[in-house]
């Protein structure tokens, strides 16, 4: 099958620098961090506001794309499991999925809470968390 | 910034064939459809089961990657809005985010409900919907 090219639209700035010690999910103790947009994507980011609940898709740049099965959460007492049944960062396309809340917007930079991605992680996409059908 | 390569791991089979008439979200009248994994990714898919709630990440292959602002839901009475504040398929990296429920598993093929992607859409990643922290 054809492959496709993805290009980072932003990058994460975070006090988390080590994959091994970072929280496994954003609701497991992640510190505030920043989403810094590349200038060429400013129009796409122009309507983001404090209080927005967003989904970030990231490229987990330290992941191993050849891994197809893991022991969930690195616990060898749990059976080896196909990665599509886990949230392992090691997977064929290492795209991270994060739900964050924007606390501040300063030019092309967002401050967000609830993000467990490490410093330097590329961001591929930003989407609003969907409200009820009637509010879309 | 560096770009990255993504490779489809599966493809959607759906009675929906036209982007213009497909529902805009999976909870807006999507029909049952199928996720057909490429044989080389069978190990990653091996633990998927009926009843699983999954997040699918797709490549919206008919999208326009140059679009940075749209009228939400194609309604020209709504102001032009940066695409990172919308769910427009037209965006710099057209990655679709879908929450589905597996109703059947047959070899490397899942039957799922709640998916609005059109026939032939490439799937990049499959993740379980996260339960409570204690259940992970």
Of the candidates A6, A19, A15, the residue with the CA atom closest to the CA atom of residue A111: A15
Give the start-to-end residue ranges of the domains of chain A. 10-129
pLDDT at position B134: 64
Got the DSSP string for B66-116? Answer: T--EE-GGG-TTSPPEEGGGS--S-SSS-EEEEEEEEEEEETTEEEEES--
- Partner-chain residue, chosen from B11, B85, B124, that has the shortest CB–CB distance to A93: B124
> Confidence class of residue A130 from pLDDT cuts 50, 70 and 90?
confident
Which pLDDT band holds residue A1 (cuts at 50, 70, 90)? low
Cβ A28–B133 below 8 Å, yes or no? yes
Q: How many angstroms separate the CA atoms of A33 and B43, rounded?
A: 35
Phi, psi of B22 (to 5 degrees): -70, 150
CA distance A50 to chain B (A): 12
Q: Whole-angstrom distance between the N-terminal and C-terminal Cα of chain B?
A: 34
Residue in B46, B95, B133 nearest the CB of A57 = B95
pLDDT the model gives residue A29: 79
Contact A74, A66 (CB under 8 A): no
What is the DSSP-derived secondary structure letter of residue B60?
A: -
The Cα of A72 is separated from the nearest Cα of chain B by a number of Å equal to 8
* CB pairs A-B closer than 8 Å: 164
Strand partners, B56: B98, B126
Mean pLDDT of the B44-57 span: 97
Rounded to an integer, what distance in angstroms lies between the CA atom of residue A18 and that of residue A31?
Answer: 13
Return the pLDDT at B126.
98
Q: What residues 55-94 of chain B have any CB closer than 8 A to a CB of chain A?
A: 55, 57, 59, 61, 68-69, 72-73, 81-87, 91-93
State the smallest CA–CA distance between residue B21 and chain A in angstroms: 17
3-state secondary structure of B6: strand
A105/chain B closest Cα distance in angstroms: 13
pLDDT of A136 above 80 = no
Q: Does the domain formed by B10-63+96-129 have CATH 2.40.30.70?
A: yes
The pTM is what? 0.92
Q: Say which of B8, B47, B97 has its CB closest to residue A81.
A: B47
Q: Which of B44, B50, B69 to mutate to test the interface with A (most CBs of A within 10 A)?
A: B44
Mean pLDDT of A7-25: 90
Q: What is the pLDDT of residues A82-92, one digit of tens each?
A: 999 999 999 99
Interface test with chain A among B65, B93, B102, B123, by most A beta carbons within 10 Å: B93
CB contact under 8 A, A84 and B125: yes
Mean pLDDT of A51-77: 93
Whole-angstrom Cα distance, residue B47 to residue B80? 43
Q: Rg (Cα) of chain A, in Å, rounded?
A: 16
Helix or strand or coil: residue B45?
helix
Q: Does A43 touch chain B (CB under 8 A)?
A: yes
Over residues A10-34, mean pLDDT: 88
Classified by CATH at the fold level, domain A10-129 comes out as Elongation Factor Tu (Ef-tu); domain 3 (2.40.30)
pLDDT of residue B30: 84
Question: B72-130 pLDDT, tens per residue?
Answer: 888 899 999 999 999 999 999 999 999 999 999 999 999 999 998 999 999 999 999 98
Phi, psi of B24 (to 5 degrees): -80, -25
The pLDDT value recorded for residue B90 is 96
């Amino acid at each position: 099958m054809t492959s496709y090219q993805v290009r980072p639209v932003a990058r994460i700035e975070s006090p988390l620098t080590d994959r091994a010690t970072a929280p496994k999910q954003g609701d497991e103790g992640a510190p505030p961090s920043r989403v810094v947009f590349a200038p060429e994507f400013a129009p796409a980011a122009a309507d983001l506001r404090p209080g927005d609940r967003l989904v970030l898709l990231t490229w987990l740049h330290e992941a191993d794309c050849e891994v197809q099965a893991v022991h969930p959460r690195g616990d060898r007492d749990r059976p080896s499991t196909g990665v599509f049944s886990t949230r392992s960062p090691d997977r064929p396309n290492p795209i991270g999925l994060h739900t964050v809340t924007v606390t501040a917007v300063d030019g092309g930079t967002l401050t967000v809470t609830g993000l467990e991605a490490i410093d330097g992680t590329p961001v591929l996409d930003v989407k609003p968390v969907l409200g009820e059908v009637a509010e879309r």
